[in-house]
């Protein structure tokens, strides 16, 4: 593939940058990648305003077909858009609804479901969460036990989900549940859309090690949803989930956000020569991170190229996700080593460099190699589907 942007693509990048320059406050620092759920009221208001403007421009789901509210923009344009929003830590946007719920409904949903759900996603009216992981089903997601039993014209859902990002703010949930307990575990799962205010749903926020409450436990106690909320074929949900995860893993957000962080590191230590003299390894470590940044960025650029050729990236998306999440951890670790004890200072401290983001990011990034599929799972996918190695 040719990694160079066309003049039209470069012009679009400049258009997105100018849009963000106008819409974000001049002193905008933004939330860390994993801290967006902790945004305060002012940040949420900025996010709502930006989302409204994105809807007006039809940028919220620009790569979607025009019939569903998109612009049929190229996959590369979508990547450029995602890259710029992530680099600038811009709040707002379509979230999970645009990233993988909508594409899954377009691929597997009925015409009625497309008409019902897709317009609300592209208009920014609703927020989605993803209901996959369970206390006993994380990396081995096919071991999930939350059940959906058909009862007349309804499905009755019972069970528990965990690590559900943003459930407390979501209107709808994208649910994977077991519909055939007698079938092999990969063949008895179905996917549903669930209103998060349905009777019987209880949402309980979880406090993570960064003292944030973006994750939640979600409990289902005889929750009834109409059978029309089943998406795709009954008991074929594992394949829908796998495709949705590929969409999740093909983003550039790790690299875009890390690029901004590394630029902040460089600016900080160009001003603090004494810190570099105390730790001469600093220069080599920063250089290593920049090399890795370019490697990862170009890997993620290959994903939209494959999509433009009609392919759904699989092991290629796992490569980008694996490298990106581990790279993000290395960036955070580098920041802590560069700052020493000052890295322990958190947001709110008058003495904390970079407003305390480095120490906060160091703790948050522990989850980077777990959420969306652990590094071990990614390596297994790469080995079996990418290299053709036998299963262990």
Could you tell me the residue ranges of all domains in the chain? 7-93, 128-235, 250-386
Of these ranges, 26-40, 190-204, 289-303, 330-344, the one predicted with the greatest mean pLDDT is 190-204
Question: What does the pLDDT read at residue 11?
Answer: 97
Cα dist. 299→87, 188, 250, 326 in Å? 17, 34, 10, 14
CB 306 within 8 Å of CB 296: no
CB 154 within 8 Å of CB 81: no
- Residue 249 — pLDDT band, cuts 50, 70, 90? low
DSSP letter, residue 183 = S
* pLDDT beyond 80 at 57: yes
Question: What does the pLDDT read at residue 33?
Answer: 36
User: Which stretches within 58-101 are classed as H helix?
Assistant: 75-87, 95-96
Question: What does the pLDDT read at residue 30?
Answer: 59
- Read off the pLDDT of each residue in 88-97 and give the average, rounded to a whole number: 88
105 or 209: which carries more pLDDT confidence?
Answer: 105
Looking at domain 7-93, what is its CATH homologous superfamily?
Answer: Acyl-CoA dehydrogenase/oxidase, N-terminal domain (1.10.540.10)
Question: What does the pLDDT read at residue 333?
Answer: 93
Residue 136 is among the residues annotated as catalytic for this protein: no
Q: Which region among 43-57, 61-75, 192-206, 274-288 has the lowest average model confidence (pLDDT)?
A: 274-288
- Residue 44 — pLDDT band, cuts 50, 70, 90? confident
The rounded distance, in Å, linking the Cα atoms of 131 and 176 is 6
The rounded distance, in Å, linking the Cα atoms of 337 and 216 is 32
SS3 state of residue 258: helix
Cα dist. 37→41, 200, 244, 343, 383 in Å? 11, 24, 21, 22, 34
Q: Tell me which of 2.40.110.10, 3.40.109.10, 2.60.40.10, 1.10.10.10 is the CATH number of domain 128-235.
A: 2.40.110.10
Apex 371 CA angle, 162 and 357, nearest 5: 110
Backbone φ and ψ of 159, nearest 5°? 145, -165
Beta carbons within 8 Å of 189's beta carbon, 6+ residues apart? 142, 144, 176, 177, 178, 179, 235, 237, 238, 241
- Read off the pLDDT of each residue in 139-166 and give the average, rounded to a whole number: 95
- Residue 247 — pLDDT band, cuts 50, 70, 90? low
Q: Which region among 5-14, 143-152, 179-188, 249-258 has the lowest average model confidence (pLDDT)?
A: 249-258
SS3 state of residue 151: strand
Looking at domain 250-386, what is its CATH homologous superfamily?
Answer: Butyryl-CoA Dehydrogenase, subunit A, domain 3 (1.20.140.10)
User: Which stretches within 1-74 are classed as H helix?
Assistant: 7-23, 41-57
Q: Find residue 190's DSSP bridge partners.
A: 177
**Catalytic one of 136, 248, 285, 326:** 248
Supply the angle between the helices 41-57 and 7-23 in degrees, to the nearest 10: 140
Beta carbons within 8 Å of 356's beta carbon, 6+ residues apart? 345, 346, 347, 348, 349
> pLDDT of 284-309, one tens digit each?
999 999 999 999 999 999 988 888 88
Average pLDDT, the chain: 89
* pLDDT beyond 90 at 235: yes
Supply the angle between the helices 75-87 and 281-308 in degrees, to the nearest 10: 150
> Cα Rg for the chain, rounded, in angstroms?
21
């Amino acid at each position: 593939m040719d990694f160079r942007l066309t003049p039209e693509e470069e012009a679009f990048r400049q258009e997105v940058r100018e849009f963000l320059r106008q819409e974000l406050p001049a002193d905008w620092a933004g939330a860390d990648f994993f801290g967006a759920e902790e945004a305060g009221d002012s940040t949420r208001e900025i996010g709502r305003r930006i989302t409204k403007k994105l809807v007006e421009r039809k940028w919220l789901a620009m790569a979607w077909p025009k019939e569903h509210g998109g612009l049929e923009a190229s996959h590369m344009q979508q990547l450029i858009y995602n890259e710029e929003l992530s680099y600038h830590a811009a709040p707002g946007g379509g979230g999970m609804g645009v990233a993988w719920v909508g594409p899954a409904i377009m691929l597997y949903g009925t015409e009625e479901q497309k008409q019902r759900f897709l317009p609300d996603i592209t208009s920014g009216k609703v927020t989605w969460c993803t209901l996959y992981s369970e206390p006993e089903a994380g990396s081995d997601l096919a071991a999930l036990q939350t059940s959906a039993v058909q009862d007349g014209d309804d499905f009755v859902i019972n069970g528990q989900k965990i690590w559900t990002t943003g459930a407390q703010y979501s209107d709808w949930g994208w649910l994977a549940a077991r519909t055939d307990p007698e079938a092999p575990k990969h063949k008895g799962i179905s996917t549903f859309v669930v209103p998060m205010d349905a009777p019987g749903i209880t949402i309980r926020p979880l406090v993570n090690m960064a003292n944030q409450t973006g994750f939640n436990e979600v409990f289902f106690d005889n929750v009834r949803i109409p059978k029309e909320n089943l998406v795709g074929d009954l008991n074929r949900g594992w394949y829908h989930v796998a495709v949705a995860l590929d969409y999740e893993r093909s983003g550039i957000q790790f690299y875009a956000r890390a690029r901004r962080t590394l630029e902040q590191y460089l600016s900080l230590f160009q001003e603090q020569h004494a810190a570099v003299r105390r730790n001469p390894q600093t220069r080599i470590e920063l250089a290593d991170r920049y090399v890795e940044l370019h490697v990862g960025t170009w890997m993620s650029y290959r994903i939209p190229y494959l999509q433009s050729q009609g392919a759904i990236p699989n092991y290629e998306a796992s490569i980008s996700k694996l490298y990106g999440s581990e790279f993000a951890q290395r960036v955070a670790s580098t920041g802590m080593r560069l700052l020493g004890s000052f890295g322990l200072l958190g947001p709110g401290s008058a003495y904390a460099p970079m407003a305390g983001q480095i120490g906060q990011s160091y703790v948050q990034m522990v989850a980077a190699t777990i959420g969306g599929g652990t590094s071990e799972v990614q390596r297994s996918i790469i080995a079996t589907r990418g290299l053709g190695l036998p299963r262990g």
